Structure formats: C-alpha cells, structure tokens
Amino acid sequence: MTTPTTERWRTIDVIVAAVIAVAFGVIFWAWGLLWNVATPAFTFLPATQAIMYGVWLIPAVLGGLVIRRPGAALFCEAVAATVSALLGSEWGGITILQGLIQGFGAEAAFAAFRYRSFRLPTALIAGALTGLGAAVFDFFVWNGAYALGSYRIPYALLTIVSATAIAGVGAWTLTRALARTGVLDRFPAGRERTAI
C-alpha cells in the first residue's frame, strides 16, 4: 500500500526500532554459532553456505516496513549488528561496519520509493539490495576467504537470493503477521492488516 510518511520519528518509532534491533542482535549472535556448526556441511561447495545469509539481513527490511521513516532500515540493522558484536560475535567489531553497509542497502530501496511503498515488491528489492551490500562487503573485508574468482559469483548470487527470500519475503510476512496481532496498531503497517 502506498502510504505517505513524515520524516519525524515519534518516541514509539524509536522504541519499536530498538526492540527489533536488540531482538535480532541476539538472533544474529546465535545464528553466527549455527553458521559455524553448519560450515562443514558446505565444504563440497563453500559458496552454497550463503543460502543461510538472509537471516542476518531481516531487521533492515523489517525496520523499514514497520517504522516507515527515513533511517529505520539502517538503524535496525546497525544496532542489531552492534548488539551481536557486544554479545561476542566471532567477527568482532567489524560486524558493526558490516551492519551499516547492509542496512544502507535496504535503506536505499525504501528511499528509491520515497518511503511511500511498503508492498512485497519493495520488500524484495530491499532484501536484494541488502544482500548485494553484504556480498560486496564480504569481498573486500574477507578477501582471503573469497579470493577465488569462481567462488565470488555464486557466493554473491546466493547471498542476494537468500536475502531476497529470507529478509525480503520473511520480513514482509512477519510484518503482516505482527499487524494481525494488533501490536502494530500505532503504525501504518498495523492499520493495513486487511491489505494484501
């Protein structure tokens, strides 16, 4: 649904964005543990582990869909990454920079629609751009792990597919599910609970 938005954040926007971010920061930390446990299963073709990546990108898209304010996607992803780093993510402080880059991807998608479109296609684009940001970041920061040219393209494509499916569709579905419970009634997403 096309809904005009204002740039001014309300107190409730900040609180809900922070709750989304902190909750996903804990999930990020746990997902990092699962990523490491699952790594041996992907040794036949390491690039395929990128199918798991989308979970780390959900708060960027979810924040944009729920809060609908400039900066919400970036805020949610960056704060979630910071919480993950503070909890002891094995990737350390670089996780914070990674969260900023990833959040910028989703933010760019919402900005491209002038923060007025929050339909599934917008969520898919936000997920895809977040995945693209994640893949590009990994190429430059973790260059040793992704040094083989034949590894980069499948890794990037699978990261984007994962982000589109898990972060894009997943966040859109989660937003709709939360709206049906009534917890988002103070947000345009909650007032659209009957919209498809």
Q: What is the CATH number of the domain that holds 155?
A: 1.10.1760
Residue at 6 is within a domain: no
Region 77-92: what's the mean pLDDT? 92
Give a yes or no: residue 184 inside a domain.
Answer: yes
Whether 2 maps to a domain, the answer reads no
Per cent of the chain over pLDDT 90 is 68
Instruction: Identify whether the C-beta of residue 61 lies closer than 8 Å to the C-beta of residue 123.
Output: yes
Whether residue 183 is predicted with pLDDT greater than 80 in this model: the reply is yes
Q: Is 194 exposed, middle or buried (0-12, 13-18, 19+ CB in 10 A)?
A: exposed
Residue 37 domain-assigned?
Answer: yes
Band the pLDDT of 55: cuts 50, 70, 90: very high
Answer whether residue 125 is part of any domain.
yes
Q: Exposure of 87 by Cβ count < 10 A (0-12 exposed, 13-18 middle, 19+ buried)?
A: middle
Give the span between the Cα atoms of 62 and 64, in whole angstroms.
5
Query: With 90 as the cut, is the pLDDT of residue 110 above it?
Result: yes
Q: Within a domain: residue 24? A: yes
Residue 117, helix vs strand vs coil: strand
Residue 36 lies in a domain: yes
Average pLDDT, the chain: 89
- Is residue 44 included in any domain, yes or no? yes
What is the pLDDT at residue 90?
Answer: 82
Within 10 angstroms of residue 65's Cβ, the number of other Cβ atoms is 30
pLDDT for res 4 = 47
List the domain range (segments joined by +) for residue 80: 11-191
- Number of Cβ within a 10 Å radius of residue 72: 30
What's the domain count of the chain? 1
What per-residue confidence (pLDDT) applies to 140?
Answer: 80
Read off the pLDDT of residues 116-144 as tens digits, 9 standing for 90 and up: 999 999 999 999 999 999 998 988 886 55
Q: What is the share, in percent, of the chain residues with pLDDT greater than 70?
A: 90
Question: Percent helix, strand, coil in the chain (nearest 5)?
Answer: 75, 0, 25
- What pLDDT, on the 0 to 100 scale, is given for residue 19? 96
At 6, the pLDDT band (50, 70, 90 cuts) reads: low
- For residue 38, the cross-strand partners are none
Distance of CA 77 to the CA centre of its chain: 6
The reported pLDDT for the residue numbered 196 is 41
